[in-house]
Structure 1
């Protein structure tokens, strides 16, 4: 909840820390509605349309709905951590600043924030690639595409996103609202169409979930729920996108927390209704094997022409999500460079349009390359495994450390029952990390290990901590 005893910061003011130097160059022009819209289009994307069959197949029955509930619950609990940090430190870069401030700006915070930027250079383009690959997959419903044609489509989508983002932030906010409308239109059509034309009674689907409740504690179902939740959480990721844009949000101490909770509750409701709608028309036994479940669903109800129209709307939603993803992540290397912890070239703003164009072009360029190289299924799991240890778990522990060092008044947003939500978030994220499987766990830890080596090499060349203890004092 918002602490009414804490003074509201002016729109263009952020808490005074050494990380804010130079960041006031970003104008605060995004309001609550625009920030929420960018969050939501980031969250939806292609994810729910390609993940729905995978989740059903993993759990093998109506109990697949619990994976979507768990994904929403994890996101909501974790949002309390983001809300406290985002309201207290509303700056460009999000987790980069949160980690550095939480762990101390001269020693361990320097390492943790470096590792986050290091991971961002890899995982942000992978997120772009996953959306672009899913886009190409659904596009093949409209016309047959061979492997290379799909790769060409996914790469072309990334390039078009870069072109659209090469502009002022205020016009981007307006574009985001239009794309948000497309998201709501698509999901609304699926939900209303299915629930008003149900061919399988909803009571059957809902009753099929009930026996699963008593079995959730069983080992096999718990393991399956963990694996399925890895995929549903991927569909919720993005509720914190507003934190990456913290330096451009109006009234950040209120709008940053509000936009996250509105986004999670709204998207969770839409996802659950969408899933119920789909399986009320297409039996789950058939849905789990469908490559174009939404297209199949609409075609079943209204015919091939409507199926093609639904596919076009899905593609627009996926495109909108990629737009929001690259917008948010392009601010992370920029924030690190402004702070003197990354290559100076990434701190450059466009001379007339005031956005970090070097960061945008670099991440977008890597996203283009990755979209030509990787497959969708493995990318989804790898993205989550790579981020959990440093970003989600590290950030939650960092908030606990901050509460030991700082006064209550330093946190404009106060979560209820602190520190219970933080401890719960840490336990859940570790459960999800182990659920990704040994291969992906090792890949995530390998990236961290290489990042530590890169940090030590950089620190050695610059004569910084830990090689020069006096500079870490």
Structure 2
């Protein structure tokens, strides 16, 4: 099947291999180097490998949702367009607005975990660094990143390639070091009742581990945002998604099992221990000495810095694209008069990244992950799964180059998995109330939408217009608005 024509003058040049590499480069950053101890602590032992497998399955089921929506509406800008197309019949622009509203929160929170991890690993090179010094370093790095992005950026392809290469080198070195001193007695030293499926303890730990696992797999949908530049998106999207998830799962399992065989997992249960703070550095030092460990630590620091830089660059464009399309506040569509970048989005996400970093530093990484996943689950993952079903019914003639395998089973399983993570969020972050905070943020978003809608005189304060942009012979040919 030939590729449909693209929009915006963008050529369809990205094939299966680069699309898969792009997904994997966004999925594997500094995450596994800082979350393996979290996964072990959540499960309470080496059975933590279940978290990586379960996370991969949930990512796979949800990735098929992205594949169908992205193939049917390639290059549309991602979730906010899928929600706009599906929910416009009843709630106008409310759902796409809420997605952008929540993206302003969860994208920088994801970036803040990278800064927290960077400061943790910096502590290996700077053992005397205290709490206040670490806080100042992290805030200074966030300010530096915003300043570096305060200029015209024509392409991040080179940065992404370099980051991927540095990350891959760090992973290979850690895996090699771990397996060069591998002890199976440590790797498979399961505690009593580790697989007791009848106990509440197992399922509570499973919920916490699943949240950590899914956090580490985030990025499997990256190619969907570049649908207008993909060759044969109906084939490339599902294949690149599945291949990237399975490939990253293998990497995570190799890392997890290797680390468990190299160090005593009981040491990972102490948040103040060196293994918990800088796991990869400790593995390298035990295997090959201090010098190689310091080198790999520097590689991890570079990976963390570059991933936050690229993430804030891309994230700041989400509210800009939505505002330009009339789905969000107009102020976010303003460009810098000289350098031509979205100022408001960059500053807003930079500030929230700083707040998230301080939350992570003064609580724990697990709390930060619970906060970002709960707010993301409500308006992106669950809503997007519902959008798939709504579009199947509302727009049955929408051109779908790819249709989900075994529909609706994967979408039902994805919905159940995300709902499971959400329900257990409060229990996994005691005293932090991530569910209540996520509901409060969405409620505040609804209020912001009503104020914005009143000013713009759109639904519910004006006529509701239905614009089935992609219904027709070609997903790239928009249709005229129709009266409901």
TM-score scaled by length of structure 2: 0.84
Gaps of 5+ in 2: 428-432, 467-483
Distance change >3 Å, CA 380–CA 353, structure 1 → 2: same
- Superposed displacement of residue 108, structure 1: 2.0
User: 1:432: Cα distance to partner?
Assistant: 0.9
1:285 aligns with 2:285: no
Aligned residue among 390, 411, 416 for 1:422: 411
TM-aligned CA distance change 1:238 to 1:369, over 3 Å: same
1:294 is aligned to 2:280 = yes
With over 3 angstroms needed to count, the CA separation of the structure-2 counterparts of 1:113 and 1:43, relative to structure 1, is: same
Which residue does 1:16 correspond to in 2?
none
Q: How far 1:28 sits from its partner (Å)?
A: 6.6
Going from structure 1 to structure 2, the CA distance change for 1:418 and 1:35 (only over 3 Å counts) comes to same
Counterpart mapping for 1:4-43 below 5 A: 7-10=2-5, 12-13=6-7, 24=8, 33-43=17-27
Instruction: Give the deviation of 1:210 after TM superposition.
Output: 12
Shift of residue 351 of structure 1?
8.0
Of 146, 169, 180 in structure 2, the residue corresponding to residue 185 of structure 1 is 169
Q: Corresponding residue for 2:125?
A: 142
- Asked if 1:455 corresponds to 2:449, the answer is yes
Instruction: Determine if the alignment matches structure 1 residue 399 to structure 2 residue 388.
Output: yes
Aligned residue-pair number = 452
User: Per-residue deviation at 1:447?
Assistant: 0.9
Q: What SS does structure 2 have at the residue aligned with 1:216?
A: coil
Contact 1:9/1:253, CA 8 A, preserved across alignment: no
Using the alignment, how far apart are the partners of 1:37 and 1:353 within structure 2?
A: 30
Could you say if the C-alpha distance between residues 269 and 331 of structure 1 is closer, same or farther in structure 2, counting changes exceeding 3 Å?
A: same
Shift of 1:120: 1.3
Task: Please give the alpha-carbon distance, in whole angstroms, between the structure 1 residues aligned to 2:304 and 2:153.
Answer: 22
Is residue 2:125 matched to residue 1:129? Answer: no
Q: Map of 1:41-440 to 2, 5 A cutoff?
A: 41-91=25-75, 93-104=77-88, 107-108=90-91, 110-143=93-126, 144-162=128-146, 166-169=151-154, 171-198=155-182, 200-201=183-184, 205-206=187-188, 208=190, 212=194, 215-247=196-228, 252-289=233-270, 290=275, 291-348=277-334, 356=342, 358-368=344-354, 370-372=356-358, 374-375=360-361, 376-377=364-365, 378-407=367-396, 410-437=399-426, 439-440=433-434
Distance 1:434 1:461, change over 3 A: same
Which shifted more, 267-276 or 286-295? 286-295
User: Any unmatched runs of 5+ in structure 1?
Assistant: 14-23
**Contact 1:31–1:249 under 8 Å retained in 2:** yes
Distance 1:74 1:403 in 2: 22
Identify, as 1 or 2, the structure richer in helix. Answer: 1
Query: What are the Cα deviations for residues 197-224 of structure 1, in whole angstroms up to 9, with x where unaligned?
Result: 31x127x6358499855x3354321121
Q: CA deviation at 1:249?
A: 5.1
Distance 1:245 1:259, change over 3 A: same
**Local SS of the residue matching 1:83:** helix
Question: Is 1:442 the equivalent of 2:423?
Answer: no
Deviation, structure 1 residue 254: 4.1
Q: Do the aligned residues in 2 keep the contact of 1:51 with 1:231 (CA within 8 Å)? A: yes
Tell whether the 8 Å contact from 1:34 to 1:176 is kept in structure 2 after alignment.
Answer: no
Say whether the 8 Å CA contact 2:14–2:229 is kept in structure 1. yes
With over 3 angstroms needed to count, the CA separation of the structure-2 counterparts of 1:148 and 1:445, relative to structure 1, is same
Kindly indicate whether the alpha-carbon contact (under 8 Å) linking 2:12 and 2:228 is maintained by their aligned counterparts in 1.
yes
Deviations, residues 144-166 of structure 1 (Å, cap 9, x unaligned) = 32223222322333344445554
Q: Identify if the C-alpha distance between structure 1 residues 93 and 152 changes in structure 2 by more than 3 Å, giving closer, same or farther.
A: farther
